């Protein structure tokens, strides 16, 4: 899914109000990203070679116990930001690009131009 398709389906906040269910789902995703460890996990997975990271790569990046990392991964999976696949004894995590694009599109600057002239601020 490219960004134009996402923008067509997910209007930025400035274009139309969110419905109650949509706002609740998006709030859960933003809340999940509001934790610095989870935000770093998403960044590590997204930037990892091949677009996926083994749980062993993630635990090596933090000074946290493995169960704590697993909890953060579960939260990210529950809100649809990550997906996982078990291969032998390791689990590999991958970003769900459509979900990240949905969040990005929601916060995108409006593309319409206001009727009034932009106010100038003198410093």
**In the chain, where the domains are located:** 3-107
Rounded Cα–Cα distance for residues 33 and 41 (Å): 9
**Distance in angstroms (rounded) separating the CA atoms of residues 100 and 26:** 11
Q: Which of 99-103, 107-111, 114-118 is least confident? A: 114-118
- C-alpha 87/C-alpha 27 separation (Å) is 32
Residue 87 burial class via C-beta count within 10 angstroms: exposed 0-12, middle 13-18, buried 19 and up? exposed
* CATH number for the domain running over 3-107: 1.10.10.10
- Window from 1-5, 40-44, 95-99 with minimum mean pLDDT: 1-5
Residue 52: in which H helix or E strand, if any? strand 52-54
Per-residue pLDDT of 53-98, as tens digits, reads 998 889 889 999 999 999 999 999 999 999 999 999 999 999 999 9
Average pLDDT value over all residues in the chain: 82
pLDDT at residue 117 tops 50: no
């Amino acid at each position: 899914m490219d960004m134009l398709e996402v923008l067509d389906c997910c209007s930025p906040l400035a274009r139309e109000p969110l419905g109650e269910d949509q706002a609740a789902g998006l709030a859960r995703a933003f809340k999940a990203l509001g934790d610095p460890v989870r935000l770093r996990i998403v960044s590590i997975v997204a930037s990892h070679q091949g677009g996926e990271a083994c749980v062993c790569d993630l635990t090596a990046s933090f000074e946290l116990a493995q169960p704590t990392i697993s909890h953060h991964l579960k939260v990210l999976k529950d809100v649809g930001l990550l997906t996982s696949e078990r291969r032998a004894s390791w689990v590999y995590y991958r970003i769900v690009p459509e979900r990240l694009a949905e969040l990005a599109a929601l916060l995108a600057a409006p593309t319409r131009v206001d009727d009034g002239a932009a106010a100038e601020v003198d410093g």
